[in-house]
């Protein structure tokens, strides 16, 4: 007779072997086959207005790091700021909302976005 302890024999702990019950089908599926909640995107963002000399690049870097995004930000010669960013779509859209507001000293007049295919090559977020 067994004691009160139950043990699972031959249960794999490898991440690719772990199975979870899928909430919609109520069947057991390998974790790798479950829908992925994070759609990765990349965006080139150009911000116009009074955005140079007011801490806009540092504001952008801080916001991107808080959101866990990667990429870079730089000033353009015509007074605009260019941002290249990569990460989950929801986080990139949150960054866009923050960039439209900007830091307190900035006056943002326009934010243009060009969506791109993510490359995955960027690590961290850099000010140029």
Q: List the catalytic residues.
A: 57, 75
List, in sequence order, every beta strand (DSSP E) within the chain. Answer: 19-21, 28-30, 40-50, 70-75, 81-88, 107-116, 125-127
CA distance 63 to 58: 9
User: Would you give the end-to-end CA distance of the chain in angstroms?
Assistant: 70
| Cα Rg of the chain (Å, integer) | 22
Question: Cα dist. 96→17, 61, 106, 111, 116 in Å?
Answer: 38, 13, 15, 8, 15
3 state DSSP class of 123 = coil
């Amino acid at each position: 007779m067994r004691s009160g302890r139950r043990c699972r024999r031959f249960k794999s702990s490898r991440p690719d072997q772990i199975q979870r019950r899928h909430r919609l089908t109520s069947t057991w599926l390998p974790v790798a086959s479950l829908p992925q909640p994070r759609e990765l995107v990349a965006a080139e963002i150009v911000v116009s207005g009074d955005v140079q000399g007011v801490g806009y690049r540092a504001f952008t870097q801080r916001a991107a790091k808080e959101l866990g995004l990667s990429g870079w930000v730089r000033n353009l010669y015509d007074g605009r700021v260019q941002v290249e960013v990569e990460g989950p779509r929801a986080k990139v859209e949150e960054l866009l909302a923050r960039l439209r507001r900007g830091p307190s000293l900035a006056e943002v007049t326009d934010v243009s976005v060009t969506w791109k295919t993510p490359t995955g090559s960027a690590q961290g977020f850099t000010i140029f």
